[in-house]
Amino acid sequence: MDSFFKFDFNAKEGAIRIGKLTIPVYALLATLFRIACIVIFMYAVIKISNKIIDKVVERQNKMKFSLDERKSKTLGAIIKSMVRYAVYFFGITAILTILFGNVTLTFAGIGGVAIGFGAQSLVKDIINGFFILFEDQYAVGDYINIEDKGGIVESIELRVTKLRDFNGDLHIIPNGLIAKVTNHSRGDMRILVEAEVSHEENIDRVIDIITVVCDKFSKKEENIVEGPKVVGVTAFKENSITVRVVGKAKSMTQWDCENNLRKEIKKALQQENVQIPYAKRKIIKEE
């Protein structure tokens, strides 16, 4: 037992002996240093390549003949993903080579086992990802729904699509699972605003006021491509009458246009002393 706890360091051999156990310190440190260098090199390559890709995408957007901005961002995200996977593959291969020597045959065996036990899903993700790009189903920056998940496409990679919803949650969806996509960013989008007015108001006067607001708004708002115009009375409610306004706006600007139009309608109705209904409670006191 005492011999097991015996500690001896041989500076010439660069080894520590603990009992019968010999630890080659210099060789171990050299191995760790080489691995650390590879990891740092991998990190640097990924960071530098990402910056180069971003600059190339930015420059091509300013060229006379260039891709659509969303398509160029999508292509940039795909190239970043490919570079990252390539760096990971060669970096891990180099580290395994340092630790275990020639790992070509080992990798071939592991690859065969992986294909047999689960790489089918990986291949499916990659192939479906290429079809998504080839068919231009959606691009980075598009507002889409994938099944029950909706939001802005933040990134399209070889294997996954990253979707940021309006709560801030990030949904990472494997491309192989994407079967149905609803794209809300292709073409002009409808805007819809409804104004509630009291039953006591002259409805023709109210429609005239809102029509004037719509005409001014269409000239002032550069994102409006059609209308807006008053459709007419669309509902009779217990305390109010609903007047509907519709139009079309550029993709991804419809929410701002609706909010701004509501604000202008509210200001105009208030200036013309049009009553906007609100909940009222009448208390009758018996004698």
Cβ partners under 8 Å of residue 206, min gap 6: 195, 197, 243, 269, 274
Q: Does position 107 have pLDDT exceeding 60, yes or no?
A: no
Q: What mean pLDDT value characterizes the chain?
A: 79
Same-domain status, 31 and 104: yes
DSSP 119-170: HHHHHHHHHHHHHHHHTT---TT-EEEETTEEEEEEEE-SSEEEEE-TTS-E
Calpha distance 96→125 (Å, rounded)? 27
Q: Tell me: cis bond preceding 228? Omega within 30 of 0 counts.
A: yes
pLDDT tens sequence across 266-278: 999 988 888 877 7
Among 152, 168, 183, the domain boundary falls at: 183
What pLDDT digit, counting tens, does each position of 117-168 carry?
Answer: 555 676 777 778 778 877 778 888 888 998 888 898 888 877 888 999 888 8
Residues 30 and 113 reside in one and the same domain: yes
Residues 237 and 171 in one domain: no
3-state helix, strand, coil in the chain (%, to 5): 50, 25, 30
CATH number where 159 lies: 2.30.30.60
Residue 61 domain flag: yes
pTM (2 d.p.): 0.57
Q: What is the mean pLDDT of residues 250-274?
A: 89
| CATH number for position 57 | 1.10.287.1260
Same domain, 99 and 178: no
Domain carrying residue 140: 131-183
Do 196 and 179 sit in the same domain of this protein?
no
With a cut of 90, say whether residue 246 has pLDDT above it: yes
